[in-house]
Amino acid sequence: MAQPPIIDWTGKKKINLALQGGGAHGAFTWGVLDAILEDGRLDVEGVTGTSAGAMNAVVFAQGYLDGGREGARAALKTFWTRVSDKGAIGPVQRKLFDSFFKPFGFDGSPAYWWADFVTHYASPYDYNPLDINPLRDLLTDSIDFTKVRACEEIKIFIGATNVQTGKVAIFKREELTADHIMASACLPTIYKAVEIEGVPYWDGGYSGNPPLFPLFYETATPDVLIVQINPVERDETPRTMRDIQNRLNEVTFNGALLRELRAVEFVQRLYDQGKLPHDEYVRPFIHRIDGADPLKRFSAASKLDASWTSLTAIRDIGRKAGHAWLKANYDSIGMCDTMDLRAAFG
């Protein structure tokens, strides 16, 4: 027997969001969020995010506090515009490179190849001793964390990896600062570990991309919509070093999510078989908007491409996917899964 969907006082269904990281491909999530906000039929109780997903989460919350749905849409657009203006994604962060090496294309630019070489064969403690990171300035300039912490309408959970323990660390909305987001987005081949209260952190993708469990423990909404940007499957065997490294990153950054989904599916089976008392447990419903297939035409290098042309093309793919998912699955929210969990990890 299906539990009734969670509906707030406005008559809208409620949902939780789980936002993956993926560099500039996080613009896909921007597009999905824009579609959900534009549609207007869903209210968000909680958001969990890692790396670019963490950035989308806090920008979403700040904009929502300032101006509701339209405020959130405007804030996301402003943030990603600034990402493009500053070129603040990845190691190739100077507009000079974009213009000077334009004839080569992003993948073939000497700037990209140089950055790719350095980040694979040297430590950021050696080649970037001052820890210069335009992303930190972007976050400080773009996000008012006082407002984010004050946005009580939305629960936020940001994932990072504790370097010392290897475990996922969850930072909650009430404590968030720019450092917490930087920790969630800290790729250790590019930046020094981000230290918070003496503890070093790396990108949350290594331990939870994104972590789901805070949504089950700390929200009342059973529906979780995962916005996934890293492909789980690829048909071809990678043969070049760049392709091999990219596939290793995809496998690593999906590993923790797949383990959590396996656990969720196990709990669902226990619930459906009556082995968990229905008056004590709520059955989670899992949904996914999968950006992996539509983003396959973008190379791995495009995760570092902050050009406005690339970002808006990826955003538009996300908007299309968001609207399509809502059209096909809105009625199922609160009633059943729309993601086949066994197929995801089987």
Write out the DSSP string of 135-184: HHHHHHHH--HHHHHH-TTSEEEEEEEETTT--EEEEEGGG--HHHHHHH
- 3 state SS of 228: strand
The answer to whether the pTM exceeds 0.85 is yes
Angle, nearest 10°, between helix axes 52-86 and 26-39?
Answer: 110
**Better-predicted residue by pLDDT, 280 or 100:** 280
- DSSP per-residue string spanning 248-281: HHHHHHHHHHHHHHHHHHHHHHHHHTT-S-TTT-
CA distances from 60 to 49, 149, 160, 164, 272 (A): 11, 12, 19, 31, 35
Q: What is the pLDDT of residues 315-331, one digit of tens each?
A: 999 999 999 999 999 99
- Mean pLDDT value across residues 81-105: 53
Q: In the chain, what's the furthest Cα-to-Cα distance?
A: 64
Q: What is the pLDDT of residues 278-314, one digit of tens each?
A: 989 999 999 999 998 888 888 777 787 888 999 999 9
Per-residue tokens: 329? 């699955």
Contacts of 112 (CB under 8 A, 6+ apart): 92, 97, 101, 106, 301, 304
Contact 48, 129 (CB under 8 A): no
- DSSP per-residue string spanning 313-344: HHHHHHHHHHHHHHHHHGGGTTT--SS-HHHH
Predicted confidence at residue 105, as pLDDT, reads: 44
The H or E element spanning position 207 is: none
Alpha carbon 319 to its chain's center: 15
pLDDT band at 95 (very low <50, low <70, confident <90, very high): very low
pLDDT of 242 above 90: no
**Sign of CA pseudo-dihedral 73, 169, 200, 251:** negative
Q: For the chain, how big is the Rg over CA atoms in Å?
A: 20
**Sign of CA pseudo-dihedral 188, 146, 137, 311:** positive
CA distances from 175 to 105, 180, 216, 287 (A): 41, 9, 20, 28
- Mean pLDDT value across residues 239-256: 83
- For residue 92, how many C-alpha atoms fall within 13 Å in the half-sphere facing its CB? 28
| Separation between Cα atoms, residue 284 and residue 268, nearest integer Å | 7
Lowest mean pLDDT among 14-28, 51-65, 285-299: 285-299
* 148: phi then psi, degrees, rounded to nearest 5: -60, -45
Closest CA to 184 of 208, 157, 163, 203: 203
